[in-house]
Structure 1
Amino acid sequence: MPSISRLLVGLAGLVPALALGTGQAKFKIVEGGRSFDRFITIWLENQDFAEVINNPDIINLKREGILLTKYYAQTHPSQPNYIAAVGGDYFGLDHDEHVRIPENVSTIVDLFAPRDISWGGYFEDQPGPGFMGGGSMGSTGNGGWDYVRKHNPYISYDSIANNGTRLWSLGSFRDFEQDFAAGQVPQFVFMSPNMMNDGHNTTLEFASSWAHTFLKPLLADGAFKERTLILLTYDESATYEIPNKIGSLLLGNAVPSSLRGTEDDTYYTHYSIPATMEYNWQLPNLGRYDVGANVFKNALTTEGHQNKGDPDNLAGVDNSVSYPGFLNSDPAKWRPIPPPNLQLVGAGGLPVSDAVYGHWWQAGDEESPYDGSGRAFDGHLYLPQYGKQEPDVVLPT
């Protein structure tokens, strides 16, 4: 069970948010997205691509969307993949234990803030928005964990966890039900079911049946007035000995009818999530691996951006092993957090955000591993390579 000290920390962070009240409208929709006005990603757990695509519930959902046939997780185990999706790196993380990432490391939230693009997270059975514990138990009825911190990417970043207002954007699935009914679902949403419904403590069949049932109301005609793109994905594959390829579907009324029931063989990773947000809303970037990641193709409705091909090392990269970094559990593989590359221009056509520059401008002459190339890295043969901060590297095709 979570310690009393962690609960107190959570309550302390929540106090400023409580002063805001909950009776007022949370936000208004910021228009101007190139292809969608809202993005929802729902994460399931630990399944191999070959198994997922043959599941009847997934096959049924595919008829309403696009199957991404070349989507890879970053590494194993679960937590680094979640963290990567909102921060553009997993900083060498190779475990699921409690971690904290310093406030000078920005996330996708910092890209949304200047534009007033609303964001949020809904985590099934999370006790409250200020909860800092490792997990909660009770509602699944099988003695297993319900909500777990490792499946909440926001809470590991101090720039969010130390900010009471931002903590208020992290709710439970009950909050989602209320927001959906009220037409107040934010424009960027990260959702994680509990450890039963996400398949972690159950099976592929159980989780896919849950996902099918959960998604049907969201896919119904008129469910959202705004153009909404939904990504159903998995954090990682189940088998470590094979490439970390996962099943993913793009769904929602933002998917053109002509593309429903089709497949997309573009190379994607979890870094494609921030890259796609940057492209869609013409946002600045984080200066990390978000730059160089491919944008979900159905979002490319205007000219001005070209996705990259497959990384030249894709066949040999071992994306089951984490590279060295700040969060690595092996002392021999610990490294300081690398500076972002302040010279990069992202998919939105803009440089790094003011928040990133403000934290790191004094490190502009330091070497950085982020080159915008879209290369794949691992902890064996293809370690991140540090170099002078320069504009994007273009790989030969």
Structure 2
Amino acid sequence: MKLASVFAASCVLLAAMAQAKPTNKKCQTGPHGVKYVKGRQFDRIFQIVFENHDVWPVQADPWFNKFWKKDNHRLLGNYHAITHVSQPNYFNMIAGSDFGDNLYNAVAHHPEVANLTSLTLETYYKYPWLADSDNLINYPANVKTVIDVLEEAGVSWRAYAEGYPIHQGCNFTMTVDSTAYARRHFPFVSFESITNKPERCNNIFNSDQFFEDYKNGELPQYIYYVPTVKDDMHDTNTTYGSQYIQKTWSKIFEEKYFNENALNILTFDESGNFTFSDMNNQIYTTIWGSGVETKSTWDHIDWAYYNHTSLISTIEDNWTGKIGQLGTNDTFANVIRVKKPYTS
């Protein structure tokens, strides 16, 4: 038996002895006991994505306002979405580009939507092409995503969605209703480089599996989580969203196992302003974990410029030591500095 296999088996045994929550960072394992690959800044990354709110209304909510001020928490004070509508921002999170699929390009062909301030069901009825472009896009198998980077580095990954129509696998169902899963918020099923490979589809789950993986101390190293369109505040508000987080996530967010050698990110897909003058698109984003040092007040805010593609370049830098493997905007997106902010 190879030494690595012996080490991994030992980690599994130690994890079981510790009531399935590993406490030794050298022995953290993912699903099926797969050994963690050591990263430069962190060993696990968790991303949860919310919807359609400007940064200041989110900051006005008491929970969001206090969250980034805790020890080992930091506000990314200059973090931006990339475009409108929702889906192209999600594409940027895992592929580093929206490939021209955004509202700004669409208006060249449909100028009547230029003054839209929101995308309601009535809007979709009036302009059905918006709904089609927001749900049915598929990119061919030669388009790479962050999954290619992770697998090349041997890093375990899983993507979880609340309300996902099946427990495991690739499913192409569109939005069901206003309280459920929305395909446009779950980019993994829009890339044939993922959906054409059964072994990759096997890493896509209903959110119930996340809580099982957490309970068993087997969280993968890359975690992507999307709530329903109700819980992610797309169809609700920041008060509802903060209550959802407090009910579902508060204990997990503060738990030692969840934070040990981890970079956790809470962000939004885009701002709430859908007008074409909104090129700023600033959104609330907080990072936290044991490696986020906050020894002074200034350590709680990082004013460096980041956007959704920074999530990819940060992963690339962490596990491969370089950025730009996808050849898209990850080539020049700023890497999130975990330990200390750039501006400290």
TM-score (norm: length of structure 1) = 0.65
Q: Distance in 1 between matches of 2:270 and 2:241?
A: 14
Where 2:89 maps in the other structure, the secondary structure is helix
* Cα 1:204/1:156, change in 2 over 3 Å: same
Q: Which residue of 1 aligns with 2:37?
A: 31
- Give % identity: 30
Alignment-mate amino acid for residue 44 of structure 2: R
* Cα deviation digits, residues 311-349 of structure 1 (max 9, x gap): xxxxxxxxxxxxxxxxxxxxxxxxxxxxxxxxxxxxxxx
Q: Which residue of 1 aligns with 2:10?
A: none
* Cα 1:252/1:210, change in 2 over 3 Å: farther
User: Are 1:76 and 2:80 counterparts?
Assistant: no
* Cα 1:286/1:212, change in 2 over 3 Å: same
Q: Distance in 2 between matches of 1:213 and 1:145?
A: 17
* Cα deviation digits, residues 190-244 of structure 1 (max 9, x gap): 1100011000111111112212333322233423374111110000000134321
Q: Which residue of 2 aligns with 1:256?
A: 293
Alignment-mate amino acid for residue 111 of structure 1: V
CA RMSD of aligned residues (A): 2.2
Q: Which residue of 2 aligns with 1:298?
A: 338
Instruction: Please point out which of 281, 287, 300 is paired with 1:244.
Output: 281
8 Å CA contact 2:81–2:89 kept in 1: the answer is yes
8 Å CA contact 1:101–1:156 kept in 2: the answer is yes
Note the C-alpha offset of 1:257: 4.0
Instruction: Please point out which of 106, 128, 137 is paired with 2:144.
Output: 106
* Cα 1:254/1:217, change in 2 over 3 Å: farther
8 Å CA contact 2:259–2:290 kept in 1: the answer is no
Where 1:230 maps in the other structure, the secondary structure is strand
Where 2:329 maps in the other structure, the secondary structure is coil
Q: Which residue of 2 aligns with 1:49?
A: 55
Alignment-mate amino acid for residue 30 of structure 1: Y
Note the C-alpha offset of 1:69: 1.1
Note the C-alpha offset of 1:293: 0.5
Where 2:265 maps in the other structure, the secondary structure is strand
Note the C-alpha offset of 1:188: 0.8
8 Å CA contact 2:31–2:219 kept in 1: the answer is no
Where 2:35 maps in the other structure, the secondary structure is coil
Q: Distance in 1 between matches of 2:137 and 2:273?
A: 25
User: Are 1:133 and 2:173 counterparts?
Assistant: yes
Q: How many residues align?
A: 274
* Cα 1:50/1:279, change in 2 over 3 Å: same
8 Å CA contact 1:280–1:299 kept in 2: the answer is no
Q: Distance in 2 between matches of 1:227 and 1:189?
A: 14
Q: Distance in 2 between matches of 1:104 and 1:89?
A: 14
Q: Which residue of 2 aligns with 1:178?
A: 212
* Cα 1:283/1:96, change in 2 over 3 Å: farther
Q: Which residue of 2 aligns with 1:286?
A: 326
Q: Which residue of 2 aligns with 1:373?
A: none
Identify which range, 29-38 or 43-52, moves more after superposition: 29-38
8 Å CA contact 1:111–1:283 kept in 2: the answer is no
Note the C-alpha offset of 1:180: 0.3
Structure 2 gaps, min length 5: 1-29, 103-132
Large movers: runs of 4+ above 4 Å = none
8 Å CA contact 1:236–1:244 kept in 2: the answer is yes
8 Å CA contact 1:272–1:293 kept in 2: the answer is yes
Q: Which residue of 2 aligns with 1:230?
A: 264
Q: Distance in 2 between matches of 1:92 and 1:282?
A: 28
Q: Which residue of 2 aligns with 1:218?
A: 252
Structure 1 gaps, min length 5: 1-23, 138-143, 302-306, 310-397
Q: Which residue of 2 aligns with 1:155?
A: 189
The answer to which structure, 1 or 2, has the higher relative contact order (CA under 8 A, 6+ apart) is 2
8 Å CA contact 1:58–1:212 kept in 2: the answer is no
* Cα deviation digits, residues 108-143 of structure 1 (max 9, x gap): 111111221011111001022221111334xxxxxx
8 Å CA contact 1:277–1:283 kept in 2: the answer is no
Instruction: Give runs of aligned pairs for residues 9-28 of structure 1, distance below 5 A.
Output: 25-28=31-34
Alignment-mate amino acid for residue 95 of structure 2: G
* Cα deviation digits, residues 44-83 of structure 1 (max 9, x gap): 0000011111211101211221111111111000000001
Note the C-alpha offset of 1:173: 1.6
Where 1:185 maps in the other structure, the secondary structure is coil
